[in-house]
Chains A and B, each alone.
Chain A
């Protein structure tokens, strides 16, 4: 069987359940943390340690699952707490999960507990924060969603990407290590 053939579908039963579990986890755990906010350019930005959830799901299950976890998870958590729908922030949160999905193609499951992999997870979390929040802040500016100047967009980007990067940098490797240890030796946990 070719290497391509061995890679499972991004829409297999496992991936569908992973998307649902990731989405529900991100939404349920984020709601209590929405109270921790810092002033941004156009309003307040929630400090969410839970951004590590889509990052972890992207890393473990691939970019599509990571993207869906961030996207729908953010829609649901906003729906239940802030109320409303902010499409560009939902996509930005999706990118938080999609970017670490690169690791899904290059890092073997047996290497997840290695120090090098944990460093890569931390680095990918920071890159994901820059890409995801960069997208949200720039679209806020381009489409004038509450922001009218590039300075305001940059202020929003620095505050939101900074907190997400720090949260992801610390928590993603911890969660990845815990998951790798919890599933070590179990069959069909790849």
Chain B
């Protein structure tokens, strides 16, 4: 089961202002996009694992989520690798070193190296994303976005959506179990149309339940005069502490180092297999 939710705690990441954590995620995205060399990608990958270990999320609670995420990413990276034996993201790979061929796939050394890089990139971004979600109280997203000058209605959309994502993932799981108890087969049936129709017993109940709640929530908000004023204040507030300034300074230093490394190692790294 996928669990994307907040786990209360007292780690360094728990104590940081959500805006600092937004910046951390943005830095990881920039670094992961900038780094193409596998040897460089190891650093953000290890850093993300260390960050995740530091937040001490109960493993029993998140094991299922990680099993799912790692499976998705491994499948994507591997299938990608088997299709990228002659070019990768527009870069041609001359004379690829073929290890094996089967059906429509070709396994090459270059493909595997690029797949490992892609897997590390995907995983470290997923880990950092989870660090943000697992350590940030959902009630703090809106005040943090408001401090970033996002209009309050926009902040409210993101705030509510972040609260609802874990609710709907759990609801999807419950619906799947209920349908399976009635003989529903989760494995896709033969043919594209049959596979799509097979998702109807899952998507329709969850979507309808969610949509029927819209008016009740909107009524509750209107009764509290939501939208009556052009601006609003938030019950909870966020503010930078000394540790936030230290972390932000460190993030900018890392960004400068990353830009330097990107100029030194500007492209993909393929092991030198000359003579093999």
Contact = CB atoms under 8 A, between A and B. Distances in A.
Interface of A: 11-14, 16-21, 23-25, 27-29, 31-37, 39, 42-44, 49-50, 52-53, 56, 60, 68, 72-73, 76, 79-85, 144, 146-149, 152, 166-167, 170-171, 174-175, 178-179, 182-183, 188-189
A11 to B, nearest CB: 5
B76 A24 contact: no
Nearest to A60: B211
Nearest to B208: A182
Given A27-B165, A44-B79, 12 more contacts: A14-B215, A16-B221, A20-B160, A21-B213, A32-B172, A35-B72, A49-B199, A56-B207, A80-B130, A81-B69, A148-B90, A171-B199
A42 B192 CA distance: 23
Given A13-B227, A49-B199, A166-B192, A81 B72 contact: yes
Nearest to B130: A80
A50 B89 contact: no
Contact of B160 (A21, A79, A166, A179): A21
Contact of B76 (A29, A37, A85): A37
A34 to B, nearest CB: 6
A20 to B, nearest CB: 3
A84 B32 contact: yes
B contact residues, range: 35 or more
A60 B210 CA distance: 14
A7 to B, nearest CB: 16
B212 A182 contact: yes
Interface of B: 2, 4, 29, 32-33, 68-69, 71-73, 75-76, 79-80, 83, 89-90, 121-126, 128-130, 133, 153, 156-169, 172, 188, 192-193, 196-197, 199-200, 202-204, 206-208, 210-215, 217-219, 221-222, 226-227
A76 B153 contact: no
B196 A49 contact: yes
A149 B91 CA distance: 11
A170 B254 CA distance: 48
Given A28-B168, A39-B83, A43-B80, A13 B129 contact: no
A120 B199 CA distance: 22
B219 to A, nearest CB: 8
Contacts of B217: 17, 21
Majority SS at the chain A contact face? helix
A13 to B, nearest CB: 4
B122 A20 contact: no
Contacts of B159: 20
Contacts of A39: 79-80, 83
A149 B184 CA distance: 44
A84 B215 contact: no
Contact of A147 (B90, B126, B196, B226): B90
A44 B122 CA distance: 13
B157 A25 contact: no
Contact of B204 (A17, A23, A146, A175): A175
A83 B129 contact: yes
21 contacts: A11-B153, A13-B222, A19-B157, A19-B161, A21-B217, A24-B167, A28-B169, A29-B168, A29-B172, A33-B199, A35-B76, A49-B203, A68-B157, A79-B129, A80-B165, A81-B69, A82-B76, A82-B125, A144-B90, A152-B90, A183-B212
A179 B208 contact: yes
